[in-house]
Amino acid sequence: MTALTLLAWVAGVYWIIAVVLLVLSVAATIAQPYLAARRATRRDQPPASVILPVKLLEDQFDRTQESALTQHYRDFDVTVSSTDLDAPAVQRMRAILARHPTVPSRILLSTAKFAVSPKVDNLYAPFMDATHDVIFMKDANVLLEPDALAQHIRQLTDEVGLVCAIPYCARLENFCAHVEAAIINGPHARMLFLASALGQGHGVGKIMLFRRSDFLRAGGFDAISHTVGEDNALAKAMRRVGKRPVFSHRPVRQELGARAFQDVYHRQLRWSVIRRNDELISFIAEPICQAVPAVIASALAAPLVGLAPIVAASATLLLWFALETLLSMAKGWQLSWAAPAVFVVREATMLAVWLNAWVTDRVVWARNSVNARAGAKPSPVPHEEG
């Protein structure tokens, strides 16, 4: 067997694995809500503290943040946290809270400075001072349905320590927003839906629902302060104390609006560096979820089945694009007439991000540069289970 023949066989095996994974993940994305709903067996509604960390005043801020105060839930309060009480986002939150006087609410100043991630610093005060044991945290660009808290709480059974939800992107207002949505709604979502369909859970921080007592038993802030991927670190910490992380049967709507390509790139790079640091094997395997390596593999393997490389490559590219487009239509996700161009730019962006993530530790979080490997200081107070 010549070297070229061996390369063709290896490429053929790679192509088969990539395409099978594509088909399985598409099927799992459709099936996951039904499979996960069967595991949502909790029926009571314990009192809950809703945490809203704020920093920047983003587009549609009022709409997304107000959705946390209009929950159809028996007993909940809302705590807003910020490092600057005079920030425009905080002033806007004051007006939002004033429109809902029946919901117990407050604004806390976060002064902690011990974590690698500024977000973790911002969460210290509200997590530790929360009124209730059950804590529900959401990011500022997440739009909640009125029954979201009630639905997600169904997943917080006795053996579950962390409930997250798989995000999907909506309200896409320019080409770059469609590119970011193609990344998040595409390979990222498919792999998360597949993991959930197989009964696995991971930390995805768009929303996080957990018990503070479990959080403290799992190490509290000392377990998550060392990384900018606090969501994944929390999932790992819960596993160590015998509590499972799970994905909810309800996805969460992430509002994108208009995006700048630089912001899209830096956000994807941050998440990729986090995966490289925290989930190296998964990070190494990421290209198998992307179309470009499969297209190249199909061209290399084409002679084994008597096809011209250009025919095999074109067929693979068309298959990948068609399945993801049909999936978006089935899920009701927003599509663009420029979808073919979006697909090409997405693939180039994902490959560039993956290669860049091998050689950098600098990431951008809320427009600030952060060293993803910087050491964390001890958390402000010892954490013991209350």
| pTM tops 0.85, yes or no | yes
In angstroms, the first-to-last Cα distance of the chain is 66
DSSP 6-50: HHHHHHHHHHHHHHHHHHHHHHHHHHHHHHHHHT--------EEE
What is the structure's pLDDT at 381?
A: 54
The tally of CA atoms less than 13 A away on the side-chain side of residue 232 is: 17
E strand spans, the chain: 48-53, 76-82, 105-109, 134-138, 142-143, 160-164, 167-172, 207-211, 244-247, 252-257, 362-365, 368-371
DSSP 230-289: HHHHHHHHHHHTT-EEEE-SS-EEEEEES--HHHHHHHHHHHHHHHHHH-HHHHHHGGGG
Residue with tokens 């905080």: 90
Q: Average pLDDT for residues 173-178, to the nearest whole number? A: 96
Tokens linked to 252: 């969460």
Fold entry, domain 42-188+200-259: Spore Coat Polysaccharide Biosynthesis Protein SpsA; Chain A (3.90.550)
- Dist. CA 185–CA 190, nearest whole Å: 7
Q: Average pLDDT for residues 100-121, to the nearest whole number? A: 91
* pLDDT at 271 > cutoff 60: yes
Instruction: pLDDT band for 100, please (50, 70, 90 cuts).
Output: very high
Q: Where are the domains of the chain?
A: 42-188+200-259
* pLDDT at 375 > cutoff 70: no
- Dist. CA 76–CA 135, nearest whole Å: 10
Is residue 313 within 8 A of residue 324, CB to CB? The reply is no
What are the pLDDT digits (tens) for 3-13? 889 999 999 99
Instruction: pLDDT band for 102, please (50, 70, 90 cuts).
Output: very high
* pLDDT at 40 > cutoff 80: yes
CA-nearest of 192, 187, 170, 181 to 323 is: 187
What are the pLDDT digits (tens) for 118-159? 889 999 999 999 999 999 999 999 999 999 999 999 999 999
What is the structure's pLDDT at 376?
A: 62
What is the structure's pLDDT at 382?
A: 42
Which run of H or of E encompasses 317? helix 309-331
